Amino acid sequence: MQNNQVHIQCELLGDSIFPNEVAVQIETVDSNPVSVLVDNSLLEAHDSEHFLRAVMIESKDSVSVCLLPTETESGSRWVRVQNSSVLEKRQELQVA
């Protein structure tokens, strides 16, 4: 079983009531957006794109199962995303 740190592409929604926290949205493999509040330190930005740090648990075909650092608005930390929205190495952020 694969288990490594990755970055998932996300959309920055805005600030939270806490100074170091922001709201982001991730599009799932089913095209359902999920929102999560995360600490700024868990985000990477490249040009106008944002990426959230997560842990990839499994990747098959075109889908990755990832564990998010915090729960989504639905109360789950698990998300299934397209492999195309996952960067496995931090260096990929510099060439994305």
Q: Predicted confidence band at 59 (pLDDT cuts at 50, 70, 90)?
A: very high
Q: Predicted confidence band at 48 (pLDDT cuts at 50, 70, 90)?
A: confident
Residue 69 zone, left/alpha/beta (φ > 0; ψ -120 to 50; rest): alpha
pTM here is: 0.85
Q: What DSSP state is assigned to residue 93? A: H
Separation CA 63–CA 43 (nearest Å): 21
